[in-house]
Amino acid sequence: MGITRRWATLVLFLCMLGTQAPQHGSQTHPGDKLAVVRDWSELHASMEKMHRAMTSIETSGDEDVNFVRLMLPHHQAAIDMAKTQLRYGKDPQMRRLAQEIITDQQSEMELMQLWLQQRAARSANPAQASDTR
């Protein structure tokens, strides 16, 4: 699923959640409130971890490398948040979306890490590397 389509799907789901009427006989249990607090806390911790990682990255002088280095913690935060959704979330559509995010983001991180390794190898041995720009 493409990034644009994934975001459009997420926005649609969030809009649907906001318009759902409460179900008859639904009750709030003390454990539900505790789960929401843990969920919120874990989501915020993921974001804070991402921001610390991103702000600790120094510029490489290469726009492509900068982009990839910053995207890695961004993707990791998405994975961490999706894992939190799987731990606490109940909606099957959101759980499925969370699993897709984990799969997609892990695959993209592997691609970016491989690209960084290949880029470093080309820089270390410019005689064998051809410029791919």
Q: In this predicted model, what pLDDT tens digit does every residue of 27-59 receive, in sequence order?
A: 545 556 666 678 899 999 999 999 999 999 999
Separation between Cα atoms, residue 68 and residue 22, nearest integer Å: 43
pTM: 0.68
Given the candidates 1.10.1740.110, 3.40.640.10, 1.20.1260.10, 3.50.50.60, the CATH classification of the domain at 32-123 is 1.20.1260.10
Separation between Cα atoms, residue 68 and residue 113, nearest integer Å: 8
Higher pLDDT, 28 or 95: 95
pLDDT at 31: 58
User: Could you state, in order of their start, the residue ranges of all structural domains in the chain?
Assistant: 32-123
Separation between Cα atoms, residue 77 and residue 48, nearest integer Å: 9
Share of the chain residues as helix, strand and coil, in percent rounded to the nearest 5: 75, 0, 25
Q: In this predicted model, what pLDDT tens digit does every residue of 61-88 receive, in sequence order?
A: 999 999 999 999 999 999 999 999 999 9
Separation between Cα atoms, residue 118 and residue 15, nearest integer Å: 42
Decide: 101 and 80 in contact? Cβ < 8 Å. Answer: no
pLDDT at 37: 77
